[in-house]
Structure 1
């Protein structure tokens, strides 16, 4: 959804939002681990944040 929003925004707001998204993505990736069983879960395993584990719990 954010990718669609970023594509529709004018250049300056797009850059500001993109910076925030990149920062938050990096923070989340730094605090989670890959979930080796993500492809077995019922929810859509193609969503990258649902393939991560945070403190032993499912990410997302």
Structure 2
């Protein structure tokens, strides 16, 4: 999930405005579901990967909450 969300973020940054709007709406829906199924990671700031990305600060209980 996390790698896929990284890729989606990059795609969103590169899309033209007309395509960006539609994909961003769909991604927001999926993001909301991911937040519902995961918990905040209290140690996210101390991890090696980019903790500034909100989806990297979530815990999926040993799975990637797909």
For normalisation by structure 2, the TM-score amounts to 0.66
> Which 5+ residue runs of structure 2 have no aligned equivalent?
1-9
1:39 aligns with 2:48: no
1:4 is matched with 13
Query: Higher relative contact order by CA 8 Å / sep ≥ 6: 1 or 2?
Result: 2
Write the distance in 2 (CA, Å) between the matches of 1:50 and 1:26.
Answer: 14
- Who wins on radius of gyration, i.e. which is larger? 1
1:25 aligns with 2:31: yes
Runs of 4+ in 1 over 4 A off after TM superposition: none
